[in-house]
Amino acid sequence: MEQRIKKRRILIVEDEHIIAVDIRVCLENLGYNVIGTIANGEDAIEFISQAHPELILMDIMLEGDMNGLEVAEYVNQNFDIPVIFLTAYANDETLKKAANASPYGYLIKPFEDRELRVSIEMAFYKHSMEKALKASRNLLMKVIDTVPSCIFVKDAENKIVMANKAFADLYQISPKEIIGKTETDIIPDNEDNREKAELFNESNELVLQKKEPVLIPEQLLTMPDGKELWFQTTKVPMRTPEGEDVVLGVAVDITTRKEVTEELEQSNIRLKKLLEETVNGLVSAMEMRDPYTAGHQRRVSYLACKIAEEMNLPQDQIDGIRIASLVHDIGKIYVPSEILSKPGRLTDAEMNLIKTHPKAGFDILCRIQFPWPVANIVLQHQERKDGRGYPDGRSGDEIMLEARILSVADVVEAIASHRPYRPALGIDVALGELDKNRGVLYDENVVDVCRNLFRKDKFKFEDIPHSKRH
């Protein structure tokens, strides 16, 4: 028996009976399930709380004490249901009030059936994307909360807009309660700490003004329990999806290194490990914006390191390849999430925006003091041997060996794995691409080593340990 497609459940809130009936007939002809038509605002809220429609078509002028704007605002605050306004009024004041209710569409009466269908489908798509983004953000916070380093984001007024558990625990406050506070609000109130809070604020302003990272090598703070701790903090400028300039900070506790100078070598090892854990945490957080390619950077890193090992590169060089691979797509943080998760073919403009990510990644990483040329590897990982890559059109030996290795690993993983616009093509197709463009787009030696890893069963993506894949 053919499985029936579930119809979308829609509620009509309209005070003119004839119009409501007309819309209902139109929706049913379009294949939607109209679960009710209501003319009164108060009745609409009671019905919504019980029936939970998937979408509401809302007239602005309604019977009763509540108009459509008030009902929509109540729905927005209490239910996760998209609302489309239907109205004969299109003046600036009405539009401004309607925007405050965060609608998913705005149709001026009279409207065509096609306009109604397009608005409904766009509302459902936008709502599904927002739900996915919300789920990703929740998962992102869970990932960040596992990082032992203190991670925080501050706005232009030095107010904390995001903090992980480690940062909140430091001040004996919950991550939720710390939001909206400044450094002055949370550090113990004494003259020394007040001066340090001012220095923190000045460094934030410097980051935002110059759009450059700032490193605070050492800072002593007195915590609420009286304990003195040393921190090393890196602050990097970022821009939110809403276009707001903010500061991302990562603070590492260096108290042990300061107090136990005779253990300097071990301390450096621990700091290097903390750096990698922080990178892993931030990479995981970034990947949550694009659920279709979650784990991509980690799988690329694992393959790139295997190729480097087969080529007998020094361990220090392999470590640099590993870190660069883990952050090679960090520049996509500037690409809107709806483009990263778009199921269809990208437009030329969208593709050009994607192509900015190597340079954006370089700009983020170039001022951070990695012990490897991470920023340059990231900058060059989309360059091609014949000069047809981007962003600089480098060719041949102008491209770093590390970047040539990362390029091959990136292409193989991308082709072999699922993408929003197509299913996984498999490793045979990926290796076919390497064979086709060996010596043209990709370094011959790197291609040969990579191909032998798979064809001699020395490497499989399926064999990557879970912690390495995710």
In eight-state DSSP terms, residue 223 is: -
Q: What is the dihedral of CA 103, 105, 108, 112, to 10 degrees?
A: -150
First to last CA, the chain: 39
Q: For 250-264, 283-297, 315-329, 422-436, which range has the lowest pLDDT when averaged over its residues?
A: 283-297
Q: Is the pLDDT of residue 292 over 60?
A: no
Q: Residue 68's pLDDT is what?
A: 84
Q: Which of helix, strand or coil describes residue 183?
A: helix
Q: What is the pLDDT of residues 234-248, one digit of tens each?
A: 899 988 877 889 998
Tell me which amino acid residue 423 is: P
CA 136/CA 138 separation, integer angstroms: 5
Better-predicted residue by pLDDT, 470 or 459: 459
Backbone angles phi, psi at 105, to 5 degrees: 180, 165
Better-predicted residue by pLDDT, 111 or 40: 40
Q: Is the pLDDT of residue 468 over 50?
A: no
Q: For 81-90, 263-272, 442-451, which range has the lowest pLDDT when averaged over its residues?
A: 263-272
Q: What is the pTM of this model?
A: 0.45
Q: For 8-22, 313-327, 331-345, 363-377, which range has the lowest pLDDT when averaged over its residues?
A: 331-345
CA 446/CA 430 separation, integer angstroms: 14
93 contacts 48 by C-beta, under 8 angstroms? no
Q: For 82-96, 312-326, 382-396, which range has the lowest pLDDT when averaged over its residues?
A: 82-96
Token pair for 311: 């080529």
Token pair for 336: 């809107």
On the question of a common fold for 148-282 and 290-470, the answer reads no
Q: What angle do CA 330, 334, 340 make, to 5 degrees?
A: 80
Tell me which amino acid residue 259 is: E
Q: Is the pLDDT of residue 427 over 80?
A: yes
Q: What is the DSSP string of 341-404?
A: T-SSPPPHHHHHHHTTHHHHHHHHHTTS--SS-HHHHHHHTT--TTS--SSS---GGGS-HHHH
Level-2 CATH architecture, domain 148-282: 2-Layer Sandwich (3.30)
Model confidence at 282, pLDDT cuts 50, 70, 90, reads: low
CA 128/CA 134 separation, integer angstroms: 10
Token pair for 306: 């295997």
CA 313/CA 463 separation, integer angstroms: 23
Q: Is the pLDDT of residue 2 over 50?
A: no
In eight-state DSSP terms, residue 422 is: B
CA 151/CA 431 separation, integer angstroms: 40
Model confidence at 129, pLDDT cuts 50, 70, 90, reads: confident
Q: Which of helix, strand or coil describes residue 10?
A: strand
CA 311/CA 449 separation, integer angstroms: 7
Q: Which range has the top average pLDDT, 74-78, 190-194, 402-406?
A: 402-406
Q: What is the pLDDT of residues 151-203, one digit of tens each?
A: 888 998 889 888 888 888 888 888 888 888 887 888 777 777 777 778 888 88
CA 223/CA 236 separation, integer angstroms: 24
- Count the neighbouring beta carbons within 10 Å of the beta carbon of residue 343: 10
User: Domain map of the chain by residue range?
Assistant: 9-138, 148-282, 290-470
Q: Residue 64's pLDDT is what?
A: 85
Instruction: Tell which CATH classification among 3.40.50.2300, 1.10.10.10, 3.20.20.100, 3.20.20.150 matches the domain 9-138.
Output: 3.40.50.2300
Give the full edge-to-edge strand order of the sheet including 245-253.
160-163, 150-154, 245-253, 228-239, 214-222
Token pair for 364: 């983020």
Tell me which amino acid residue 133 is: L
Q: Residue 469's pLDDT is what?
A: 39
Q: Is the pLDDT of residue 262 over 80?
A: no
Level-2 CATH architecture, domain 290-470: Orthogonal Bundle (1.10)
Token pair for 346: 């990208």
154 contacts 185 by C-beta, under 8 angstroms? no
303 contacts 434 by C-beta, under 8 angstroms? no
Better-predicted residue by pLDDT, 194 or 27: 27
